[in-house]
Structure 1
Amino acid sequence: MRQEFFILTKEQLQEEIQDGLKAQLIEFAKNFQPKEPNEYLTRQEVVDMLQITFGTLNNWCKNGKLKPLGIGSRIYFLRSEVEKSLKPITL
């Protein structure tokens, strides 16, 4: 078994390390997707946003079209989920 040794100066070693880090950061940046903060809407905000009644909102929740979230007696909806529930209509 033959081993090869490379002699590098301090500057060359620093440059090799920097090049390796740059390559890793570039690869990381390609796949990095910043997470959007969740925006929660109240029942009133969803009703206003979609221009519907509270009855319609309740029916959509019962039918599983919208997924309400709750804490205590408060009910919220994720804006992203409300927007995802909208489907294109073909005429």
Structure 2
Amino acid sequence: MNQIQFIGLTPQELRNDINQDVKKQLDELKESFQPKTPEELLTRSETAELLKINLSTLYHWTKKGKLKSYGLSGKVYYKRSEIESALIEV
């Protein structure tokens, strides 16, 4: 970080220096910022269709821990990213 010397600066010069430093920091942050994409949740039917399996196979794979399911409002969902990762592992 740069050292700032306050002696001999007018309030406006100090304000300008601070604004420049803040702008520089924001520009650096914008360059490295990677927004998160929301996780896509699939229903049981969508997951089975994606994997080209029937619902009973999906149930057994979930019980065996091959796939992880998530309960939300009384329904079961699977994360697309986890399904794709499981396919890569196989």
TM-score tier by shorter-chain length is 0.7 to 0.9
Structure 1 length normalisation: TM-score?
0.74
In the alignment, what sits opposite 1:21?
22
Structure 2 length normalisation: TM-score?
0.74
Identity %: 42
Unpaired segments of 5 or more residues in structure 2? none
Moved over 6 A (4+): none
Name the amino acid aligned to 1:26.
D
Asked if the contact 2:6/2:14 (under 8 Å) is kept, the reply is: no
The SS at the match of 1:83 is helix
Give the number of aligned pairs: 86
Matched, 1:79 2:80: yes
Name the amino acid aligned to 1:45.
E
Q: Distance in 2 between matches of 1:49 and 1:5?
A: 64
Name the amino acid aligned to 1:77.
Y
In the alignment, what sits opposite 2:70?
69
In structure 2, the CA distance between the partners of 1:25 and 1:50, relative to structure 1 (3 Å rule), is same
